[in-house]
């Protein structure tokens, strides 16, 4: 390498960088999160298969044939043409007031609390909201409690903020609050600060479980006693098949000690990349102070404000809920008919996912054989902190994207995958 007094040629400079391994420059947080998987970003899982048109059940993505393109196109056009000088410039970190006012109206009615626009800040989907909360409240070494299993993308985000992540088990009623209480005491006795409790209370990803009201109240009580902020991920709260889920944690607690994260990705379209955080005004102010991206697109925010104002979201959901119910039932019936000796599962009341326990072979073996047959899905290990160490028996099937006819074909394909994995063919 030339000495410090000699000017480098452009070729020499390029040569130095050409030999540089990016890993030598990475921040500690970037190293901590690792490479990740497609499920971390919510995109479809992919595996090698010779089948030309496989049935893909990898990502939690809305039904592609029912996207409200015409309504969105009109709202986007109105946003640009009606108020171009306001729409086509920076909009601030909190987000367009009109959309936040509509969010306040909608969630005041649903959560049974009084909200105004200052109780909301917009984000880059729910993932951006979770990252914003971690930016504001997590310091390296703080403890964040999560459910086991949980959404892999959120695990990755929290890990990237250098928090210590501690899992708590869940069952058919949601998080085991008594277990959480024991773990919290152990952590506090060890001198650790438990800062956040991350939960997906409605139609959990990946298990589909909905937390009972009893557990919700117990969790609020536990976290209040220990001054642990609850981060309530409500991405799927609108996607129910029959009755609405129990009152949100935010509603039950009247907004105290809860930051609720929502998104338009699941009820409308993932490509919108717009979400929000709902919280007490001083918490929202704190979130705004650590948001350095100059805010979300005013074009999209204004369009979505009109979409809500005209009640188009509720109209769209009235169409989507029965469709997703039919899809879920088609999948469950197919598995029950063809795979009853190989699988166990509990049918969810909403959301996009079916959590399936494999009886006999390991889940990864079933996944690999299914891929060869043209059926693509991730193993459940992806949704645990230690992955294969924590779980080898579950798979997650996303039924939102596949058609009803495709979902009826899942049972026979899955049966053949089990037969091959067990060496019975």
Show the 3-state SS of 55-104: EECCCCCCCHHHCCHHHHHHHHHHHHHHCHHHHCCCCCCCCCHHHHHHHH
Segments making up each domain of the chain, as ranges: 37-61+315-421, 69-310
Q: What is the mean pLDDT of residues 288-305?
A: 95
Q: Is the pLDDT of residue 173 over 80?
A: yes
| Degrees, nearest 5: CA angle 258-262-265 | 165
Mean pLDDT for all residues in the chain? 94
Peptide bond between residue 149 and the one before it cis (omega within 30 degrees of 0): yes
Give Rg (Cα) of the chain: 23
β-bridge mates for residue 197, sequence order? 145, 230
Q: Is the pLDDT of residue 2 over 90?
A: no
Q: What is the pLDDT of residues 241-278, one digit of tens each?
A: 999 999 999 999 999 999 999 999 999 999 999 999 99
CA distance 125 to 64: 19
Supply the pLDDT for residue 208: 98
Q: Which CATH architecture has domain 37-61+315-421?
A: Alpha-Beta Complex (3.90)
Q: What's the pTM value of the predicted model, to 2 decimals?
A: 0.93
CA distance 39 to 33: 14
Q: 69-310 has which fold?
A: 3.40.640
Q: What is the pLDDT of residues 29-81, one digit of tens each?
A: 888 777 666 655 555 556 677 788 999 999 999 999 999 999 999 999 999 99
Other C-beta atoms closer than 10 Å to the C-beta of 321 total: 17
Give the range among 24-38, 52-66, 108-122, 180-194 with minimum mean pLDDT: 24-38
Burial, 23: exposed, middle or buried (Cβ in 10 Å; 0-12, 13-18, 19+)? Answer: exposed
Q: Is the pLDDT of residue 5 over 90?
A: no
Q: Specify the residue for token string 């999560």.
A: 146
């Amino acid at each position: 390498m030339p000495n410090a007094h000699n000017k480098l040629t452009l070729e020499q400079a390029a040569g130095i960088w050409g030999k540089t391994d990016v890993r030598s420059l990475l921040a500690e947080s970037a190293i901590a999160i690792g490479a990740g998987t497609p499920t971390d970003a919510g995109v479809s899982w992919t595996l090698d298969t010779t089948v030309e048109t496989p049935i893909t059940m990898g990502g939690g993505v809305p039904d592609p044939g029912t996207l409200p393109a015409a309504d969105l196109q009109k709202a986007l056009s109105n946003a640009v043409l009606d108020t171009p000088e306001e729409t086509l410039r920076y909009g601030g970190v909190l987000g367009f007031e009109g959309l936040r006012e509509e969010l306040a109206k909608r969630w005041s009615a649903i959560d049974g609390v009084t909200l105004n626009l200052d109780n909301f800040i917009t984000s880059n989907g729910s993932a951006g909201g979770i990252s914003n909360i971690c930016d504001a409240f997590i310091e390296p070494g703080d403890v964040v409690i999560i459910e086991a299993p949980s959404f892999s993308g959120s695990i990755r985000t929290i890990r990237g903020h250098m928090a210590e992540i501690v899992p708590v088990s869940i069952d058919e009623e949601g998080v085991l609050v008594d277990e959480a209480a024991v773990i919290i005491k152990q952590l506090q006795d060890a001198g650790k600060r438990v800062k956040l409790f991350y939960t997906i209370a409605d139609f959990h990803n990946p298990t589909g479980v909905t937390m009972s009201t009893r557990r919700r109240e117990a969790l609020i009580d536990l976290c209040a006693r220990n001054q642990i902020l609850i981060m309530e991920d409500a991405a799927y709260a609108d996607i129910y098949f029959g009755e609405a889920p129990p009152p949100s944690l935010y509603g039950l607690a009247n907004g105290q000690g809860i930051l609720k994260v929502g998104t338009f990705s699941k009820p409308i379209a993932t490509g919108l990349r717009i979400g929000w955080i709902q919280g007490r005004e001083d918490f929202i102010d704190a979130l705004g102070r650590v948001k350095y991206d100059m805010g979300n697109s005013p074009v999209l925010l204004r369009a979505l404000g009109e979409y809500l104002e005209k009640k188009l979201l509720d109209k769209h959901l009235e169409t989507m809920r029965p469709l997703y119910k039919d899809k879920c039932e088609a999948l469950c019936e197919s598995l029950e008919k063809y795979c009853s000796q190989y699988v166990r599962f509990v049918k969810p009341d909403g959301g996009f996912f079916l959590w399936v326990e494999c009886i006999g072979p390991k889940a990864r073996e079933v996944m690999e054989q299914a891929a060869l047959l043209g059926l693509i899905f991730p193993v459940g290990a992806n949704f645990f902190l230690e992955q294969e160490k924590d779980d080898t028996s579950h798979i997650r099937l996303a039924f939102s994207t596949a058609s009803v006819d495709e979902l009826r074909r899942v049972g026979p394909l899955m049966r053949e995958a089990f037969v091959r994995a067990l060496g019975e063919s």
